[in-house]
Chains A and B, each alone.
Chain A
Amino acid sequence: MLYLSSYLGRPVLDAGSRRVGTVRDLTARLNGPYPAVMALRVRTGRHSHIDLSWNDVRSFETSQIILAANLQDLDPYVLGDQDVLLSRNVLDKQIVDLEGRRLIRVQDVQLSRTGTQLRVLGVDVSTSALLRRLRLRRLADRVAAGYPPHAVAWEDVDLGSWRDPNVRLRVARTGLRRLHPADLAEIAAALPPGEGAGLLAGLEDEVAADTLEEMSPEVQVRMLEALGPERAVQLLEEMSPDDAADLLQDLPREEAEALLARMDPKEAEDIHELLGYEEESAGGLMTTEVFSVLADETAQGLIERLRARAPDEEAAYYLYVVDEAERLVGVMSLRDLVVAPGEARVAAFMRADPISVRADEDKKEVVEAIMKYNLLALPVVDDQERLVGVVTVDDVIDLVGPRSWRPDSRRFLRR
Chain B
Amino acid sequence: MAALAVIGPGLITAQADNDATGIATYSIAGARYGYRLLWVLVPVGIALAVTQEMGARLGIVTGKGLASLIRERFGVGFAAVAIGLLLIGNLGTTTADFAGIAASLEIFGISKFASVPVAAGIVFLLVTRASYRRVEKVFLVLSAFYVAYMISGFMAHPNWAHAMRSTVVPSFTLTGAFVLTVVAVVGTTVTPWGQFFIQSYVVDKNIDAEQLNYARGDVILGAFTTDLVAFFIIVATASTIFATGGHIVDAKDAAIALKPLAGRFASTLFGLGLLNASFLAAAILPLSTAYAVCEAFGLEMGLDRSPREAPIFYSVFAFSILFGAGVVLIPSVPLVKILFASSAVNGVLVAPILVFLYRLCNDVDLMGSRRNGKFANAMGAATIGLLILLTVLLLGAGIINPT
Q: Which A residues lie at the B interface, using CB under 8 A?
A: 91-94, 104-107, 125, 127, 130, 133-134, 163-164, 166-167, 190, 192-195, 197, 222, 225-226, 406-415
In the complex, whether B200 has a CB less than 8 A from a CB of chain A is yes
| Shortest distance from the beta carbon of A96 to any chain B beta carbon, whole Å | 13
| Shortest distance from the beta carbon of B294 to any chain A beta carbon, whole Å | 10
| Shortest distance from the beta carbon of A84 to any chain B beta carbon, whole Å | 14
Once the chains bind, are A130 and B63 in contact (CB under 8 Å)? no
| Shortest distance from the beta carbon of A340 to any chain B beta carbon, whole Å | 47
Contacts of A134 in B (CB 8 A): 76-77, 80
Contacts of A222 in B (CB 8 A): 206
| Shortest distance from the beta carbon of B384 to any chain A beta carbon, whole Å | 20
Once the chains bind, are A125 and B64 in contact (CB under 8 Å)? no
Once the chains bind, are B77 and A133 in contact (CB under 8 Å)? yes
| Shortest distance from the beta carbon of A230 to any chain B beta carbon, whole Å | 15
Q: Which 7 A-B pairs have the closest CB atoms?
A: A105-B298, A409-B303, A194-B63, A193-B206, A414-B204, A192-B203, A414-B201
Neighbour of B71 across the interface among A92, A164, A190, A407, CB < 8 A: A92
| Shortest distance from the beta carbon of A318 to any chain B beta carbon, whole Å | 35
Residues of B within 8 A of A (CB-CB), count: 33
Measured CA separation A91–B336 after assembly (Å): 45
Once the chains bind, are A133 and B298 in contact (CB under 8 Å)? no
Which of B49-57, B283-291, B322-330 forms part of the interface with chain A? B283-291
Neighbour of A164 across the interface among B63, B284, B303, CB < 8 A: B63
Once the chains bind, are A413 and B298 in contact (CB under 8 Å)? no
Render B74-106 as a binary contact track against A, CB cut-off 8 A, 1 for contact: 011101100000000000000000000000000
Measured CA separation A167–B170 after assembly (Å): 47
Contacts of B75 in A (CB 8 A): 91-92
In the complex, whether B225 has a CB less than 8 A from a CB of chain A is no
Once the chains bind, are B284 and A107 in contact (CB under 8 Å)? no
Number of A-B contacts (CB under 8 A): 84
A-B contact pairs, 22 of them (CB 8 A): A92-B76, A105-B298, A107-B298, A127-B299, A133-B77, A163-B63, A166-B365, A167-B365, A192-B64, A192-B204, A194-B206, A197-B206, A226-B206, A406-B303, A407-B130, A409-B130, A409-B303, A410-B303, A412-B132, A412-B303, A413-B291, A414-B205
In the complex, whether B302 has a CB less than 8 A from a CB of chain A is yes
| Shortest distance from the beta carbon of B309 to any chain A beta carbon, whole Å | 11
Contacts of A167 in B (CB 8 A): 365
Contacts of B160 in A (CB 8 A): none
Render B195-225 as a binary contact track against A, CB cut-off 8 A, 1 for contact: 0010011011110000000000000000000
Contacts of B64 in A (CB 8 A): 192, 195
Once the chains bind, are A195 and B304 in contact (CB under 8 Å)? no
Once the chains bind, are A406 and B130 in contact (CB under 8 Å)? yes
In the complex, whether B374 has a CB less than 8 A from a CB of chain A is no
| Shortest distance from the beta carbon of B293 to any chain A beta carbon, whole Å | 12
Contacts of B132 in A (CB 8 A): 412
Answer whether A413 and B76 are a contact pair too, CB < 8 Å, given A163-B63, A192-B64, A406-B130. no
In the complex, whether B65 has a CB less than 8 A from a CB of chain A is yes
Measured CA separation A125–B284 after assembly (Å): 29
Contacts of A166 in B (CB 8 A): 365
Once the chains bind, are A195 and B63 in contact (CB under 8 Å)? yes
Measured CA separation A411–B201 after assembly (Å): 10
Contacts of A195 in B (CB 8 A): 63-64
In the complex, whether B297 has a CB less than 8 A from a CB of chain A is yes
In the complex, whether B268 has a CB less than 8 A from a CB of chain A is no
Q: Which of B76, B77, B200, B201 has the most CB of A within 10 A?
A: B76
Kindly list 15 other residue pairs between chains A and B, CB separation below 8 angstroms, not including A134-B76, A412-B130, A415-B204: A92-B71, A92-B79, A134-B77, A166-B365, A192-B203, A192-B206, A194-B203, A195-B63, A222-B206, A226-B206, A409-B130, A409-B303, A409-B304, A410-B303, A413-B291
Neighbour of A413 across the interface among B79, B205, B284, B297, CB < 8 A: B284
Render B105-142 as a binary contact track against A, CB cut-off 8 A, 1 for contact: 00000000000000000000000001011000000000
Contacts of A406 in B (CB 8 A): 130, 303-304
Neighbour of A104 across the interface among B65, B133, B203, B298, CB < 8 A: B298
| Shortest distance from the beta carbon of A296 to any chain B beta carbon, whole Å | 53
Neighbour of A415 across the interface among B77, B205, B288, CB < 8 A: B205
Contacts of A410 in B (CB 8 A): 204, 291, 302-303
In the complex, whether B68 has a CB less than 8 A from a CB of chain A is yes
Answer whether A92 and B72 are a contact pair too, CB < 8 Å, given A130-B297, A164-B63, A197-B206. yes
Once the chains bind, are B206 and A413 in contact (CB under 8 Å)? no
Measured CA separation A130–B298 after assembly (Å): 9
Contacts of A130 in B (CB 8 A): 76, 297-298
| Shortest distance from the beta carbon of A106 to any chain B beta carbon, whole Å | 8
Contacts of A193 in B (CB 8 A): 63, 203-206
Once the chains bind, are B304 and A94 in contact (CB under 8 Å)? no
Contacts of B206 in A (CB 8 A): 192-194, 197, 222, 225-226
| Shortest distance from the beta carbon of A144 to any chain B beta carbon, whole Å | 16
280-320 of chain B: CB within 8 A of chain A: 284, 287-288, 291, 297-299, 302-304
Measured CA separation A410–B76 after assembly (Å): 23
Measured CA separation A280–B345 after assembly (Å): 52
| Shortest distance from the beta carbon of A207 to any chain B beta carbon, whole Å | 22
| Shortest distance from the beta carbon of B274 to any chain A beta carbon, whole Å | 23
Once the chains bind, are B287 and A413 in contact (CB under 8 Å)? yes
Contacts of A226 in B (CB 8 A): 206
Measured CA separation A19–B120 after assembly (Å): 58
Once the chains bind, are A105 and B304 in contact (CB under 8 Å)? no
The closest CB in chain B to the CB of A135 belongs to B77
Contacts of B365 in A (CB 8 A): 166-167
Measured CA separation A408–B301 after assembly (Å): 12
| Shortest distance from the beta carbon of B9 to any chain A beta carbon, whole Å | 8
| Shortest distance from the beta carbon of A149 to any chain B beta carbon, whole Å | 14
Once the chains bind, are B63 and A411 in contact (CB under 8 Å)? no
Contacts of B299 in A (CB 8 A): 127
Once the chains bind, are A125 and B298 in contact (CB under 8 Å)? yes
Once the chains bind, are A413 and B65 in contact (CB under 8 Å)? no
